[in-house]
């Protein structure tokens, strides 16, 4: 399916829960946010039905996110069912990694294609400052397990801030001798992210190049989107930048987002989209869902306005990143 600016939309990010076992300072307040009632969260059966409809409209790649997707029980079952849908080529996961080691075998059996692990520091004290929990050893165990899994596409996502400046080099170095892609994602003024000071791609790059030497553009691992990959000499893996503010990629945006309570969000910044849940509750047939999705996608905003001071008030755990 295409929007009114002729961008092809083939990638759906699904937030399967707004709950999380961490409290990252740029994402969730310390004492949490009022969570959706279980009855308001789309059931797996409903998600699978909607994904069949999305697949019939050309969506071929699905990312499961949250909140923390691994806190929702039975995720491997969802992965397996999504992989069985005609037209769905790839199902991947974005996770904080805390519960990954124990769930990875079942996820792999279910056909998971890739995992993105969010990790901003290798220092236990700083991990606690950023996430307000002590879980670094479990995240590292999850990362090791993922890298040991044959054929699984593994990426590490770091949000660079003033607080973790001294971690950029050690994190990037993880890709020196392994097939890992370490990606730096510019902080966006979404929810609590608006109150922290962003560190731009250029700042991160200068620090990395001072240590590793010049980085050459490279193809990087297969992926869904806007990351630009580089490889310093001698590296096995790659270093990526997703820079929504300093290298805006809206013109190539290929994605829409489904929130845990069934709102189809067509742009990260704006509330534009359609609430699919009421349609489902009214017993809408697949054709009616297809029409609602196509109408919403047609009106997808052409670009965000973060760089001009635009904000998104929703917390990132509701939107899924």
Site residues (vs ligand SF4, CB under 6 A): 20, 22-24, 27-28, 66-68, 96, 118, 316-317
- Nearest-approach distance from CB 298 to ligand SF4, in angstroms: 30
Tokens of residue 195, six digits: 């109150």
> Closer to ligand SF4 at the Cβ: 185 or 292?
185
- Interaction of residue 185 with ligand SAM, rule CB under 6 A: yes
Q: Which residues pair with 92 in a beta bridge?
A: 63, 114
> Closer to ligand SAM at the Cβ: 128 or 290?
128
> Closer to ligand SAM at the Cβ: 76 or 193?
193
Site residues (CB under 6 A) for ligand SAM, limited to 159-178: 159
Please select the residue that binds ligand SAM; options are 142, 160, 193, 221, rule is CB under 6 A.
193
> Closer to ligand SF4 at the Cβ: 23 or 304?
23
Stretch that binds ligand SAM, among 29-37, 91-99, 212-220, 286-294 (CB under 6 A): 91-99
Stretch that binds ligand SAM, among 62-70, 253-261, 289-297, 301-309 (CB under 6 A): 62-70
Site residues (CB under 6 A) for ligand SAM, limited to 94-133: 94-96, 118
- Nearest-approach distance from CB 259 to ligand SF4, in angstroms: 13
Nearest to 7 by CA among 221, 316, 301: 301
Nearest to 89 by CA among 116, 51, 118, 117: 51
> Closer to ligand SF4 at the Cβ: 67 or 232?
67
Site residues (CB under 6 A) for ligand SAM, limited to 140-159: 157, 159
What is the distance, to the nearest Å, from the Cα of residue 162 to the centroid of all Cα atoms in its chain? 22
- Nearest-approach distance from CB 110 to ligand SF4, in angstroms: 21
- Nearest-approach distance from CB 26 to ligand SF4, in angstroms: 7
Is residue 94 within 8 A of residue 321, CB to CB? The reply is: yes
Please select the residue that binds ligand SAM; options are 14, 25, 27, 75, rule is CB under 6 A.
27
- Nearest-approach distance from CB 193 to ligand SAM, in angstroms: 2
- Interaction of residue 297 with ligand SAM, rule CB under 6 A: no
- Interaction of residue 181 with ligand SAM, rule CB under 6 A: no
The binding site for ligand SAM (CB under 6 A) comprises 20, 26-27, 65-66, 68, 94-96, 118, 157, 159, 185, 187-188, 190, 193, 316-317, 320-321
């Amino acid at each position: 399916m295409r929007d009114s600016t002729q961008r092809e939309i083939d990638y759906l990010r699904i937030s399967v829960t707004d709950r999380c076992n961490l409290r990252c300072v740029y994402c969730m307040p310390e004492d949490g946010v009022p969570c959706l009632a279980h009855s308001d969260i789309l059931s797996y059966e409903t998600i699978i039905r909607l994904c069949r409809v999305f697949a019939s409209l050309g969506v071929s790649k699905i990312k499961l996110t949250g909140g923390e997707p691994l806190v929702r029980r039975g995720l491997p079952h969802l992965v397996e069912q999504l992989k069985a849908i005609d037209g769905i080529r790839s199902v991947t996961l974005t996770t904080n990694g805390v519960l990954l080691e124990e769930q990875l075998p079942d996820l792999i059996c279910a056909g998971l294609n890739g995992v993105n692990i969010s990790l901003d520091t290798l220092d236990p004290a700083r991990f606690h400052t950023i996430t307000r929990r002590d879980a670094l050893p479990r995240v590292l165990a999850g990362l090791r397990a993922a890298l040991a899994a044959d054929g699984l596409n593994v990426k590490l996502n770091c949000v660079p801030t003033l607080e973790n400046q001294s971690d950029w080099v050690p994190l990037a170095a993880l890709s020196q001798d392994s097939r890992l892609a370490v990606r730096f994602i510019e902080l966006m003024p979404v929810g609590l992210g608006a109150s922290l000071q962003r560190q731009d791609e250029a700042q991160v790059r200068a620090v990395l190049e001072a240590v590793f030497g010049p980085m050459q553009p490279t193809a990087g691992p297969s992926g869904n989107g806007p990351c630009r990959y580089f490889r310093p000499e001698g590296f096995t893996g790659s270093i990526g930048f997703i820079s929504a503010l300093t290298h805006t990629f809206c013109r190539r945006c290929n994605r829409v987002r489904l929130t845990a309570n069934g709102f189809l969000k067509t742009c990260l910044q704006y509330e534009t989209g359609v609430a699919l849940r009421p349609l489902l509750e009214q017993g809408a047939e697949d054709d009616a869902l297809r029409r609602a999705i196509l109408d919403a996608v047609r009106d997808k905003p052409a670009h965000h306005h973060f760089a001009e001071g635009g904000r998104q008030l929703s917390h990132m755990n509701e939107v899924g990143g």
